């Protein structure tokens, strides 16, 4: 390795307000209602977070049929379909949502469908957020992942069309797909405000600032985390080698053997403790300096649901 190795940290990185809120809801529900508290799917896409909450009494399930009637269930930060909500109501489950930004996209879909518009969702097939958003209407929904998908798209009324986007997409990818939609369907309407969440945008902007200053970029995040994968892609698109790691133990010395500057960031669902572990590993491998780059200081917070906040205050 070169003699002087520096680690530079992207700002912002790691947990966003939505993830903070999602975790706090599970922890508060455990305090108020006691274990077990059921969570449909991973609350956020991070193994460390899920394992920690499981140890505290959270039970992660794939289907609502695994939750006892009358139980408490928390929907993951990725949102759920109307069918899942209806099933929860039928089984008298106490339900908590987690990410307000995903809920906002669902509201946009409902409004667009009430206006009689078909809706194109830009997102990744199979991702829980895409499935939840597509499930906001029984008909009139289309999923596209690429510009090629836009070319193949067949809609009933091109003159009465709208689009929404998955909140964790790459801004650059989303922009290209939106441009392709507008070119093919000039009358298409979009949301008043970009659906890509503020945290996703801020973290991608931070990587765009950091990557040109680095020889290699390490992104802390789980393999199934969409926003973490996008951070790796952003760095790679800027010509840098970039690696996604769930834990520091996954770092290979050969990745950084010739690097003078190593960039580190973390997806919105990755806790800072994992970043610290990565820094410690890089220091053991020869890094001698650590510096945080300039960037946005996020001040966004989302309050807890009133019902659980009131319950906890009186408990």
> Which among 25, 23, 24, 29 has a CA at the least distance from the CA of 315?
29
CA distance 147 to 155: 15
Q: How far apart are the first and last CA of the chain?
A: 56
CB 261 within 8 A of CB 215: yes
Q: What is the DSSP letter of 186?
A: T
CA distance 252 to 257: 9
3-state DSSP assignment of residue 39: strand
Distance (Å, rounded) from C-alpha 174 to C-alpha 171? 5
E runs forming strands in the chain: 6-9, 37-40, 58-61, 72-75, 94-96, 118-122, 141-144, 161-165, 216-220, 241-245, 261-266, 289-292
66 is catalytic: no
Do 263 and 213 meet the contact criterion of CB atoms below 8 Å apart? yes
CB 142 within 8 A of CB 119: yes
| Backbone angles phi and psi of 44, in degrees to 5 | -140, 160
Q: Which of 129, 131, 145, 233 is catalytic?
A: 129
- What are the angstrom distances between the C-alpha of 117 and each of 103, 150, 245, 261? 19, 17, 41, 50
Annotated active-site positions, please? 129
């Amino acid at each position: 390795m070169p003699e002087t190795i520096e680690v530079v940290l992207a700002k912002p990185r790691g947990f966003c307000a939505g993830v903070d809120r999602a975790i706090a809801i599970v922890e508060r529900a455990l305090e108020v209602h006691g274990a077990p508290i059921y969570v449909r799917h991973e609350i956020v896409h991070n193994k460390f977070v899920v394992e920690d909450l499981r140890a505290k009494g959270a039970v992660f399930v794939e289907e609502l049929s695994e939750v006892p009637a009358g139980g408490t269930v928390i929907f993951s930060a990725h949102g759920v379909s109307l069918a899942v909500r209806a099933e929860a109501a039928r089984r008298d489950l106490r339900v908590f949502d987690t990410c307000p930004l995903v809920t906002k996209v669902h509201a946009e879909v409902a409004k667009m469908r009430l206006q009689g518009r078909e809706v194109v969702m830009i997102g990744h097939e199979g991702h829980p957020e895409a499935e939840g958003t597509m499930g906001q209407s029984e008909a009139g929904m289309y999923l596209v992942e690429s510009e090629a998908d836009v070319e193949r798209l067949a809609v009933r009324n091109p003159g009465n069309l709208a689009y929404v986007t998955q909140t964790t997409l790459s801004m650059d990818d989303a922009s290209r797909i939106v441009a392709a939609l507008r070119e093919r369907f000039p009358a298409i309407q979009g949301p008043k405000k970009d659906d890509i969440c503020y945290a996703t945008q801020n973290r991608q902007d931070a990587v765009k600032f950091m990557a040109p200053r680095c020889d290699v970029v390490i992104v802390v995040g789980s393999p199934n985390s969409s926003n973490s994968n996008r951070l790796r892609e952003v760095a790679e698109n800027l010509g840098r080698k970039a690696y996604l790691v769930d834990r520091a133990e996954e770092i290979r010395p050969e990745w950084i053997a010739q690097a003078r500057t190593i960039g580190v960031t973390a997806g919105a669902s990755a806790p800072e403790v994992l970043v610290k572990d990565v820094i410690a590993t890089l220091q053991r491998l020869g890094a001698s300096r650590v510096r945080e780059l300039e960037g946005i200081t996020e001040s966004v917070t989302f309050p807890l649901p009133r019902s659980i906040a009131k319950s906890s205050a009186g408990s």
